[in-house]
Amino acid sequence: MRHPFEQLQSKIMKKYFIILLIVTILIMVIMNIIGSPLTTPSAPYGIVSFEFAFTPARAQEMISSWSTDSQLRAAFIQGLDFLFPLVYSAALGLGCLLAANVLIGRGKPLKGLGVLLAWGLVFAALCDYIENIALVAQLFGRVQSPYPEIAGVCAVIKFSMILIAIVYILYGVVVRMFLKPSPRSAT
């Protein structure tokens, strides 16, 4: 099944990729600055630790380790994280399609994976939204099963898809930088 971004011209795709990548990085920096007080011995990676709590006891331990101000910051980050999946999934989806175009042009393996990964990033964003709902429920007093488990499973899926997409994009970048187009694709 074709991805909607495939209808864009390569030049436009590159432009949107760069813009969305910059916005993605900006939002990440903002969320890291806002979330810095969430790093505690109970939550060594701040909000990311909370995403991977997996049990009500562990989630409650993290929430309890945060001051009232920190808990408000966590809630604010969750609000901002309702915009973030749209941005990063679009950026990485475009990156995967651009990488696939490079791999097709160079006749390299895994060229067909780009479209599948672009769709996978839509799924990652959906998982991120489900995760966010589960985290917000916990922040507002419902630290009970199944919320930590749902958040944890969704976080594993989301981060796995993001990591695979980034590796694929980097593969495309390396191929583009160091390998010439194959003679078959030039015709």
Q: Residues 150-164: pLDDT tens digits? A: 999 999 999 999 999
* 157 within some domain: yes
| Cβ-based neighbours of 137, under 8 Å, separated by 6 or more | 147
In a domain? residue 143: yes
pLDDT at 129 > cutoff 80: yes
Q: Is residue 154 part of a domain?
A: yes
Let me know if residue 15 belongs to a domain: no
Low-confidence winner among 9-23, 67-81, 102-116, 119-133 (lowest mean pLDDT): 102-116
pLDDT at 183: 62
Task: Please provide the average confidence, as pLDDT, over all residues in the chain.
Answer: 92
Q: What's the average model confidence in pLDDT over 60-76?
A: 95
Inside any domain, residue 32: no
The CA–CA distances, whole Å, from 21 to 7, 14, 27, 127 equal 20, 10, 10, 20
72 within some domain: yes
Residue where the block lists tokens 């009232």: 68
Q: Is residue 12 part of a domain?
A: no
pLDDT value at 36 more than 90:
yes
Asked whether the predicted pLDDT for residue 109 surpasses 80, the reply is: yes
Domain assignment of residue 68, given as a range? 49-176
Q: How many domains does the chain have?
A: 1
CA 89 to chain centre: 6
Do the domain assignments include residue 23? no
